[in-house]
Structure 1
Amino acid sequence: MLVAISMDGNNQLYPLVYAIVDNETDRSWKWFMSNLKCSIGEPDNLVFVSNWMVSISNAIRAFFPTTFHGLCTCYIKQNMVTNFKDSTVVGIFRDAARIFRMTEFQTKWDELRSFRDNAITKYLEDIGLQRGMLQLWFYERRNYWASRMTLHFDYCETRLASETDKGRQYRIEPIDCYRVHMRDNRLDDIVNLHTKECTCKEFDALGISCSNAIVAAKEQNIPIHSLCNQFYTVDSLMIAYAKPINPLATYLNGRDLLDM
């Protein structure tokens, strides 16, 4: 089975398309990608994440040549456990994979470089669902969010609360009506409320206000939820799960059991 999965605004798996094929070959993956492109087009900032399979890479290059293709960090982590058998290395890699700021990533990368005479970083550089479950997911998530009164998902609300706590000690130095210079004892950033960007890169990457943006927004009397991407609104999720997943027809002796 070939499957393309995305993430919804509540940080949950969202199945896009799937297909049943004989083998995972170049031909089957290219056929799959051609149909995926017909379904979703080629939206801006599209990113593919997969395991390390040449056929997948070939198909992505053929049908989505302008997109970025990365490897799944869980897949890489499992390979590192198998190849290097060092929990410390795996822990540093896990931390590095979750970092937004380039300077902090470089620190973790330098730590990895110190292991095994650079063998870890060289390895990383060289790397370059059943339908019934889908039916249940769509039904449960659609009903759950239809009964909620909040405008944004739990994931967004939880992250905003966490980021708000981080910014309590920040010092604010306004630059103009949109840009604000933020300082604390460790970091030094500039946030732009108009373009929804911050030098920490977290605001840009996630579309959820980072701690800098939250402090700056409160200083300017701007509601922090208004800065979050529409992707995280309950309305957008209800649209995503609006169409029901119907069960597969079950056949017995060439006849549909549902018609018996």
Structure 2
Amino acid sequence: MRLFPLAFAVVDAELEDNWRWFFENLREIEGDARQITFISDRNNGLRSALPRVFPTAYHAYCLHHLKMNLRDKVRGHKSFKDRMVFLFRECAYAPTEHKFEEKLSELLAEGKEQVQFFLNDYPFQCWANAYFQGQRYGEMCFDVAESFNAWIKEASFLPITNMVDLIRSQIMAQMCNRRLEADSWNIVLCPKMDERLGEELDKGRT
């Protein structure tokens, strides 16, 4: 699992008040020392609370959820839906504004009004690489949340106090195992990233 659990909370619903409470506690840990990028599924409570507690943070929309929403919104055969999702993904990953506009024109030419209507609800700077002002570090989706939910699946059926204790134990065990593994490294980066860096260096030699 490629994630480092920093904080979690148990609440009755994903309401603005609950999100604000969570963010206020998170801010006590993080403070204003660095610029943070949040990636979410556009929950209404989260979107309202986030700028109030972290006014300088960047908020990116999860590409996976946007693609699923687009697939649900457009009408047509499966092949047409797949085509629209593919072109939308091409827009999201476009590295420059020029390339984005090129891909967007292609998307709108084929998707016409129904795609334009869908895009009206999603500002470019929240999902397109070319216009996003923060750092996403290559993360276009918040798959880590799904990974975390799967990781704590056994705990999710327990009473709240037992659930929290089991999750705490899992996180402690994970940290311990990672520390033991890291002690055997003789490199600055973790092995996977060191290997990836080596591959990129080889590509760049020419």
The TM-score normalised by the length of structure 1 is: 0.54
The answer on whether the counterparts of 2:73 and 2:118 sit within 8 Å (CA) in structure 1 is no
Dislocated runs of 4+, deviation >6 Å: none
- Bigger helix fraction: 2
Pick 1 or 2: higher relative contact order, CA cutoff 8 A, min separation 6. Answer: 2
Match for residue 139 of structure 1 among 176, 182, 190:
176
Flag the structure with higher strand content: 1
In 2, distance between residues paired with 1:148 and 1:59?
41
Please say if residues 40 and 61 of structure 2, whose CA atoms lie closer than 8 Å, have aligned partners that are also in contact: yes
Q: Within 5 A, what are the aligned runs for 1:76-87? A: 76-84=66-74, 85=78, 86-87=81-82
Aligned in 2, Cα 1:77/1:158: closer, same or farther, shift over 3 Å? farther
Displacement of 1:126: 0.9
User: Per-residue deviation at 1:74?
Assistant: 1.5
1:136 shift after superposition: 4.2
Describe the shift of the 1:20–1:83 C-alpha distance in structure 2 as closer, same or farther (beyond 3 A).
same
Alpha-carbon separation, structure 1, partners of 2:94 and 2:190: 23
C-alpha separation in 1, matches of 2:119 and 2:173: 37
Point out the structure with max Rg over C-alpha: 1
Identity of aligned residues (%): 28
Task: Could you tell me which runs of 5 or more consecutive residues in structure 1 were left unpaired when the two chains were aligned.
Answer: 1-10, 170-260
Among candidates 19, 32, 35, match of residue 29 of structure 1: 19
Paired position in structure 2 for 1:51: 41
Query: For 2:189, what is the secondary structure of its paired residue?
Result: coil
Query: Is the alpha carbon distance of 1:138 and 1:124 closer, same or farther for their aligned partners in structure 2, counting shifts above 3 Å?
Result: farther
Count how many residue pairs are aligned between Structure 1 and Structure 2. Answer: 159
Secondary structure at 1:16 match in 2: coil
Aligned-partner SS, 1:45: coil
- Preserved CA contact (<8 Å) 1:50 1:71: yes
Partner of 2:131: none
1:156–1:80: structure 2 CA closer, same or farther, 3 Å change rule?
same
What is the CA distance between 1:93 and its match in structure 2?
2.6
5 Å-filtered alignment, 1:161-240, equals: 161-169=198-206
Once the two structures are TM-superposed, the CA of residue 49 in structure 1 deviates from its matched residue by 1.2
Q: What displacement does 1:149 show?
A: 1.5
In structure 1, give the amino acid aligned to 2:121. Answer: D
* Superposition deviation, residue 28 in structure 1: 0.9
Q: CA deviation at 1:96?
A: 3.2
Q: Secondary structure at the match of 2:8?
A: strand
CA RMSD of aligned residues (A): 2.4
